[in-house]
Amino acid sequence: DSGVTQTPKHLITATGQRVTLRCSPRSGDLSVYWYQQSLDQGLQFLIQYYNGEERAKGNILERFSAQQFPDLHSELNLSSLELGDSALYFCASSPYDRTQYFGPGTRLTVL
C-alpha cells in the first residue's frame, strides 16, 4: 500500500459526459501528479501540482483540467468524453526526494 488513495476504482460512462477523479496523496507529500495509461500509449504524464499550484504540464487535453485543494487532495476533471479517453488514470505523490508513490488507479471506460 503506497498511502495514495484514488476514487473511484472503476468508472463507466458515455461519450460526451463529464467525470471527476479524486486523489489523496500520502501524508506530508506536497506534490501530486496525474498520469494516463492506455494500452497503446504507455504511461503519459498529464499534469503536476505542488502545494496547490500548477507546476508542470504534459500532454493534457484542453477537455481535461485538474486542481489541488488546500488539504492537498487533487481532482482531475475530464469532460466531453470520447471513446479514446478510456484508460487507467493514476495519481502519484512525491516527497522532496523525487520518488513518486502511485495510487491504485481509476479505470475509466467510455461507451
Partner 1 sequence: SQKIEQNSEALNIQEGKTATLTCNYTNYSPAYLQWYRQDPGRGPVFLLLIRENEKEKRKERLKVTFDTTLKQSLFHITASQPADSATYLCALGVGTDKLIFGTGTRLQVFP
Tell me which residues touch partner 1 (CB under 8 A).
2, 4, 31, 33, 35, 42-45, 48, 50, 55-56, 58, 88, 90, 92, 94, 97-105, 107
| Smaller CB separation from partner 1, 42 or 70 | 42
Write the DSSP symbol of residue 73.
-
| Smaller CB separation from partner 1, 9 or 70 | 9
Count how many residues are written for the chain.
Answer: 111
CB of 29 to partner 1, least distance (A): 12
Distance between CA atoms of residues 34 and 45, nearest Å: 6
Number of Cβ atoms within 10 Å of the Cβ of 69: 10
CB of 90 to partner 1, least distance (A): 5
CB of 66 to partner 1, least distance (A): 15
Q: Which grid cell sits at 108? A: 475509466
* Cβ atoms of residues 19 and 25 within 8 Å: no
CB of 62 to partner 1, least distance (A): 20
| Smaller CB separation from partner 1, 5 or 67 | 5
Number of Cβ atoms within 10 Å of the Cβ of 75: 16
